[in-house]
Chains A and B, each alone.
Chain A
């Protein structure tokens, strides 16, 4: 094939139902969501030629390709860093299409994170597997001190920020309430039909005192999400309105690590997201005010504030006022996580919020932005990001 720069686009998205007990294997979830993404695009799974997932996804490429009847796989890769990897999958897919090396790249993440294992549980002994590829030293340096869960690491990461800018747990309630309001209208969401109030948030139990309550934390979910990336030219001839990947990148600044991120210079900011922002805005020539929506990785609510500031939507310390003033709402300056996010819809490791960005550009969200045309959407998983564009 002739190799020339080729614009990339998201042609298909797919998901399984999101639940607390899928009742089937993770490989089956992966196959189902992958098939759904191909069907959405109108591409045969046989023609997939690239496959990308997270290092910690339990399904093997060969086994998944076998389910899908993939004829000839040209490329596979996996991204480290847990959920921080989410948007980096789009980055890799874009790069492969841009380089003219792949035509149909499948991104997937499928897990029984509630019924089969739970990230939010204590390790019971020291023989837990410490492995490279997670981008975190939390098991080595936090567990002996009783910081054993993502919530504990996340709270410790947010504590200096919240202390410095006087962000209270009640301030976080506005994020939680807004995202559950979105989830309440999204049939796929765990919080479908179940909006919450500020008082519900304030009455939920402490997970990490005095920073995070239960309703500040993401779901634990079973499910799968897949994305099919192809060339923009080809996407124009497929079933769905094409969504161009106008830019994508990753950033891991010096001494930054995933979630147990306490070693870089200024703990009141998220340097990895600032690094992503710097590269993304330079790459695309766009700026925060050009975005009509953002999907921001919200394992815990404070990280929404940190990302709003890192990407330049708010000045340092001002995101809490932005959120309190309705900035994340459908008629706000920047609707955020309109699927309900990882807190309100499901926790498929960031992937489910990324495809909500695709739906907003297509005009097919259950919480569709209607007061303006959605031309650009920002996707961020902290250490990686992408800008999607209505083609």
Chain B
């Protein structure tokens, strides 16, 4: 396990990101490294083809250690969502919309839905991936409404 430590300065014009960066474990490093490059990837079993999330070293279906890092479509739907009001989440000037995203590949992850009002978020709405910066010059995948 490691914590991101690269501290390259952000562009001086942009406001400094205040979002907490992820804790990066060895088994999930590929996911966060790709996000830093604005790439949205997932883990697929190299033998039986099963997608898994959260990432893990062994395929739970065929026990293969042969994992492939593959691009994901970035398309999904909102399965459930909440707006954290109290305490105000650290690093967020306004409460984010936190959601469980059902991805096309059949896996799920927690993320944010951005670019949408609190009264516009709805269960099952289609979304697509985007990226937002964090402290320490990292990025995380978030989702915005998909037409």
Contact = CB atoms under 8 A, between A and B. Distances in A.
Given A152-B82, A156-B80, A144 B21 contact: yes
B87 A121 contact: yes
Given A128-B23, A140-B22, A267-B80, A146 B140 contact: no
Interface string A113-134: 0000000111111111010000
A152 B98 contact: yes
A160 B84 contact: no
A55 to B, nearest CB: 18
B112 A139 contact: no
Interface string A322-365: 00000000000000000000000000000000000000000000
B100 A156 contact: yes
A163 B86 contact: no
A294 to B, nearest CB: 26
A211 B82 contact: yes
B21 to A, nearest CB: 5
Interface size class of A (residues with CB under 8 A): 35 or more
- Interface size bucket, B side? 35 or more
Best-buried of B87, B88, B123 by chain A (most CB within 10 Å): B87
Given A123-B90, A126-B21, A262-B100, A144 B134 contact: yes
B82 A140 contact: no
A203 to B, nearest CB: 14
Nearest to A127: B3
A199 interface: no
Interface stretch (B40-48, B63-71, B103-111): B103-111
- A142, A143, A206: most-surrounded residue (chain B CB, <10 A): A143
A260 B108 CA distance: 12
Contact of A209 (B22, B82, B87): B82
A52 B71 CA distance: 46
Given A156-B98, A156-B100, A130 B1 contact: yes
Interface in B80-134: 80-92, 95-96, 98-100, 108-112, 118, 123, 134
A165 interface: no
Contact of B54 (A141, A146, A208): A141
Contact of B108 (A144, A148, A254, A262): A262
Contacts of A143: 20, 22-23
Contacts of A139: 23
B22 A137 contact: no
A147 B118 CA distance: 16
A113 to B, nearest CB: 16
A123 B79 CA distance: 26
Interface in A250-270: 254, 260, 262-263, 267
Given A126-B3, A139-B23, A144 B81 contact: no
A145 B96 contact: yes
A6 interface: no
B96 A146 contact: yes
A140 B21 CA distance: 10
A196 interface: no
A159 interface: yes
B76 to A, nearest CB: 13
Contacts of B49: none
Given A140-B54, A160-B100, 8 more contacts: A125-B20, A128-B23, A139-B23, A140-B23, A140-B25, A148-B89, A205-B85, A206-B83
Interface of A: 120-128, 130, 137, 139-149, 151-152, 155-157, 159-160, 163, 205-211, 214, 254, 260, 262-263, 267
